[in-house]
Amino acid sequence: MKKVASGISPVIAVNKSATASLYRQVYEGYRKAIMEGNVRAGQRVPSTRVLAMELGISRIPVLSAYAQLLAEGYLESRVGSGTIVSRSLPQRGTAVQTPNAESAKISSRKRPLSKGCLRLSSRKDFYRRRGMGMFVASQVAFEHFPLQVWNSLVTRHIRRTNAKSLDYGDPMGLKELRETIAAHLRTARGVRCEADQIIIVSGSQQGLEVTARVLLDPGNRVWMEEPGYGFAQGVFASGGCEIVPIPVDAEGLNVAAGIKKCRTARAVLVTPSHQYPLGVTMTASRRFQLLDWAERYGSWIIEDDYDSEYRYESMPVTSLQGLDGNARVVYIGTFSKVLFPSLRLGYIVVPADLVDRFLAVRFAMDIGPANFYQAVLADFIREGHFSRHIRRMRAVYAERRSVLIESIRRELGPAAEIQGAEAGMHVCVTLKGISDLEIAERAARQDLWLIPLSRLYLGKATRQGFILGFGSTPVEEIPGAVRKLRAMIGSTSSVICRR
């Protein structure tokens, strides 16, 4: 049996105020994850120390839960191998991935697909150059990436290069990488998937492009969050779709408003775990409303899970796809935020009955992804470096986030409303009585790269403010950068009182 991703914590909801003991909650969480197949036989579980730190609880209830799971045969402990899920347990998968009677039933339903999904067409280039400076929302803390480990893996695969490896690879992507991604997603994000449902792409943008070509025809109407992700607007617009902006409130996408505005939209693009740009987490009631709408009207949900690995005030939120029992959700992920963007690797998790159609479009675009870095990444994940890197970066980003929030409150005062600070690698700051576009243009000349919030609205902007990325901004430089921003705002507005 091949090794799978090691030491990744499944999604376990621990409520310290619940009547059930912490030990029982951890025990039930792991038992459920094992029984539902989200963690598999032979998969290593985190050490009790690491899991206790992840959950923010004492190590004692974790030790008790592990002891019970070991006693009941769900886990086994081996010298030199740590604690793993028992290999004697029967293999359990998820209901929607295997070509059984249920998936055949799903396939037979009337499900509209793009008539021209296999045709190549020219499209406008929506890529824009971005500055390299303070607060760039798309950048990560490059200096903390484990380059020595990565370079060692690269060297290993260079030495393994042979004549066979020079040929085209699987257009779906390297099988070993798809297997490690599937194991990670099942465990860490609650995604219901198998390796044969995953297609490797060159990032979330290409994932969205492939998805749009399969599911949408020119003239189709698509819901988008308002404000929302600007590059996605470009993908839908270039495909001739009509974008229907749906407002976002404190609970996420307003599904009722969407139904009232355009109930028969073909699809919706959502960022439910950390809405871009406002940072809202979609509530459970809204998630089920959205799934119900998609099932009722035969529509599609495209879930962009771009930075869900980083949460600072709560446990990770289960994916929307994991709640979907009707195969209506296409899940898109990327390694740009958790590793580095130049890697150019992302993935699509596709409903089982649509894999062939997605693969046809993927093949038409560029035959398939390059093999080399897929193999390196597969080892990086499988050997545990990926999960360790995420844990380290959570601590780094949590510190930068705290310093940024403290600096904003100190320099900008109560006039500045901070949103979306609970997760991700950016915060949204809204202010009244300013022109965010004018200030952002001036700030760029001083190496402050602010995304003006008003630019992310399709209709009339109801709020003015900035998207501030903190991923690549060193802690010691944040206070000075916020003071510089305060001076710019103060010179163009009376909102911030001068000291």
Tell me if the pTM is above 0.85: no
Q: For position 251, which CATH number holds? A: 3.40.640.10
Contacts of 310 (CB under 8 A, 6+ apart): 337, 390, 393, 394, 397, 423, 424, 425
Q: What pLDDT score was predicted for residue 60?
A: 92
Q: Does residue 126 surpass a pLDDT of 70?
A: no
98 domain-assigned: no
Centre a 10 Å sphere on the Cβ of residue 116 and count the other Cβ atoms it contains.
13
Contacts of 57 (CB under 8 A, 6+ apart): 14, 16, 22
124 domain-assigned: no
Centre a 10 Å sphere on the Cβ of residue 171 and count the other Cβ atoms it contains.
17
Q: Are residues 202 and 299 in the same domain?
A: yes
Q: Does residue 466 surpass a pLDDT of 50?
A: yes
Q: Are residues 58 and 84 in the same domain?
A: yes
Number of helices (H), then strands (E), in the chain: 15, 14
Q: Are residues 60 and 87 in the same domain?
A: yes
Q: Are residues 305 and 402 in the same domain?
A: no
Mean pLDDT in residue range 320-332? 95
Is residue 123 very low, low, confident or very high in pLDDT (cuts 50, 70, 90)? very low
Q: Does residue 132 surpass a pLDDT of 70?
A: no
Structure tokens at 141: 């803390």
113 domain-assigned: no
181 closest CA partner among 30, 360, 352, 334 = 334
Domain boundary among 382, 398, 421: 382
Q: Are residues 186 and 269 in the same domain?
A: yes
Q: Does residue 405 surpass a pLDDT of 60?
A: yes
**How many domains, in total, are found in the chain?**
3
Is residue 94 very low, low, confident or very high in pLDDT (cuts 50, 70, 90)? very low
Q: Find out whether 228 and 245 touch, Cβ atoms under 8 Å.
A: yes
Q: What pLDDT score was predicted for residue 241?
A: 94
Q: Does residue 320 surpass a pLDDT of 70?
A: yes
Q: Are residues 394 and 339 in the same domain?
A: no
Q: Are residues 352 and 421 in the same domain?
A: no
Percentage of residues in the chain having pLDDT higher than 70: 88
pLDDT in tens, 244-256: 999 999 999 999 9
Residue 374 structural domain = 148-382
Q: Are residues 171 and 158 in the same domain?
A: yes
486 domain-assigned: yes
Report the chain's mean pLDDT, rounded to a whole number: 86
Q: Are residues 263 and 297 in the same domain?
A: yes
Q: What pLDDT score was predicted for residue 499?
A: 44
17 domain-assigned: yes
